[in-house]
A and B are shown apart, each in its own frame.
Chain A
Amino acid sequence: MKITTPLTNEVVTSLQAGDQVTITGVIYTARDAAHKRMVEALERVEELPFDIRGQIIYYVGPSPAQPGQVIGSAGPTTSGRMDVYTPLLLAQGLRGMIGKGQRSSAVKEALKEYKAVYLAAIGGAGALIAKAIKKADLVAYPELGPEAILRLEVKDFPATVINDCHGGDLYQEGKVRYSKTA
């Protein structure tokens, strides 16, 4: 299924755990340190560095671009570390996240409440994934190095729906399907 950003309510509600999608449009990078900064900004009642409504955050800290490259390797980092910050960002209008690894029950509940989706990209396939990134621009926090917030223009970025807004969870369902431990 092809989806574009920003995400609409219609698209988010149509997505089901296990769906393979390709994403075209703009997505924003942020990982540990940038999340901490954003949540601190919200606590001080300041603006976020970008309009988060309807957007997707990609949990990635890319490797440096070589001459002639848009970006270096750019695969997902482990999402669970962002769990503590995520419900607050969803409340601000964030509609999607791309990462890898399981989310907390608080995040899964927030996905249902705010109608948002959590997707996974293939961890450790950063050289391949970088091919789908056509442009990368700095948005905020350059001093964080690989943790700075970037605006990425992506075309047919491959991802898999892990947690949909209806309570579906591919990590649980996939494991049950192939488990031999009864």
Chain B
Amino acid sequence: MRDIPTQQITQTVARLCQEANYYLGEDVLEALRRGREAEESPVGRDVLDKIMENARIAAEEGVPLCQDCGTAVVFLEVGQEAHINGGELYDAVAEGVRQGYTQGYLRYSQVRQPFSTRLNTKDNTPPVIHTEIVPGDRLRIIVMPKGGGAENMSRLAMLKPAQGRQGIIDFVVQAVDEAGSNPCPPVIVGVGIGGTAEKALGLAKQALLRPVGKPHDDPEVRELEAELLERVNDLGIGPQGFGGRTTALAVHAGVFPAHIASLPVAVNIQCHSARHKEAVL
């Protein structure tokens, strides 16, 4: 058993909220550079240049990449031999989000009673927390600020198993096509296949955590990702929807076994401001 104090968790979450919002990952920047090289549209190239310029300014000045500093989505991988002491784990995470957003000049985007009063909670809490118990005595924390514009383009379909691989492709391409310019392309398309309805959505979101463009370990899934990327980029939506080749920087899929009656497929779209930072305690 290894002790992990909640105070350390709070400090770490606060730091990750700020780092994720200020510093775009090198994998995303590299994917943007590759997109810039391949882009046929002059306007599209200009947009990609400005997105990279924006990332440079944000990092140099310590300001948010995007005014939408997101819902704080926090993934916790808790080692089963770890012992969290000094308070409640989720309270510690929420306090980290509160400190990170209030002290880091990050925008508060969470509203309470979303169906009626929609009052801003004024500290960006509560976060959305996903917890997994894993072997070991460590705690891995990933903070993913998720912007509303891209998240609003999420889709779920419970396909018939007979629709198979082609059904998946048609649904994913249609989801990206209908999203159009809304989710701030170039996007990263997270796809979840299998499980139950909520499992598929979780797989789609978790797939976005993979380094951009790193293919899936399973060759069959890798091939599906490549075909989806090609089909999505054939749509012509391009950077910001102004027309062009680079609609998506990558398609990442996650797969889980499904019920004999089911073929769930979920799409979770990530804007080009693909922000997530992690730490292991």
Q: Which residues of A contact B (CB under 8 A)?
A: 18, 20, 33, 60-66, 69, 72-75, 77-78, 80, 100-102, 120, 122-128, 130-131, 144-147, 160, 170-171, 173-181
Q: Flag if B181 contacts A171 (CB, 8 Å).
A: yes
Q: How many residue pairs between the two chains, A and B, have CB atoms under 8 Å in the bound complex?
A: 169
The smallest beta-carbon distance between B239 and chain A, in angstroms, is 9
Q: Is the CB of A175 within 8 A of B53?
A: no
Give per-residue flags for B240-271: 1 if the beta carbon is below 8 A from chain A beta carbons, else 0.
Answer: 11111100000000000000000000000001
B143 to chain A, nearest CB (A): 17
Q: How far is the CA of A131 from the CA of B58 in the complex (A)?
A: 12
Bound form: Cα–Cα A63–B68 in Å: 7
In the complex, the chain A residue whose C-beta lies closest to that of B244 is: A178
The answer to whether B273 touches A124 (Cβ under 8 A) is yes
Cross-chain contact A175 with B243 (CB below 8 angstroms): yes
B122 touches which one: A126, A145, A170, A177 (CB < 8 A)? A145
Q: Which of B109, B122, B149, B237 contacts A175 (CB 8 A)?
A: B237
Q: A173 — nearest CB in chain B belongs to which residue?
A: B243
Q: Which of chain B's residues has its CB closest to A69's CB?
A: B63
Asked whether A171 and B245 contact (CB < 8 A) given A123-B184, A124-B272, the answer is no
Tell me, in angstroms, the Cα distance from A63 to B62 when the chains sit together: 13
Count, chain B residues at interface, CB 8 A:
49
11 residue pairs of the A-B complex, CB under 8 angstroms, read A60-B67, A62-B67, A66-B63, A122-B47, A124-B184, A126-B66, A127-B58, A160-B43, A177-B236, A177-B243, A178-B236
Chain B interfacial positions (CB closer than 8 Å to A): 40-41, 43, 47, 50-51, 53-54, 57-58, 61-69, 105-109, 118, 120, 122, 147-149, 152, 180-182, 184, 234-238, 240-245, 271-273
A131 to B57, CA, bound (A): 10
Cα of A66 to Cα of B181 in the assembled complex, Å: 30
Known: A63-B106, A78-B182, A178-B41. A126 touches B67 (CB 8 A): yes
When the two chains form their complex, are residues A124 and B65 in contact, meaning their CB atoms are under 8 A apart? yes
Contacts of A176 in B (CB 8 A): 236, 243
A178 and B241 within 8 A (CB): no
User: In the complex, are the beta carbons of B236 and A127 less than 8 A apart?
Assistant: no
Complex Cα distance, B62 from A144, in Å, reads 25
Is there an interface contact between B68 and A102, defined as CB atoms closer than 8 Å? Answer: no
Q: How far, in whole Å, are A63 and B236 apart by their CA atoms in the complex?
A: 32
Select from chain A the residue with minimum beta-carbon distance to B68. A77
Contacts of B180 in A (CB 8 A): 101-102, 171, 175
Interface centre among A66, A80, A127, A170 (most CB of B within 10 A): A127
Given contacts A124-B66, A127-B54, A127-B65, contact A160 B242 (CB under 8 A): yes
Given A63-B107, A66-B105, A73-B63: A128 and B50 interface contact (C-beta under 8 Å): yes
Given contacts A124-B271, A181-B234, contact A62 B181 (CB under 8 A): no
How far apart are the CA atoms of A174 and B58 in the complex, in Å? 29
Which single member of B40, B67, B244 contacts A72 (CB below 8 Å)?
A: B67
Query: Which among B57, B181, B235 has the greatest number of chain A C-beta atoms within 10 A?
Result: B181
- Roughly how many angstroms separate A2 CA and B120 CA in the complex, as a whole number? 37
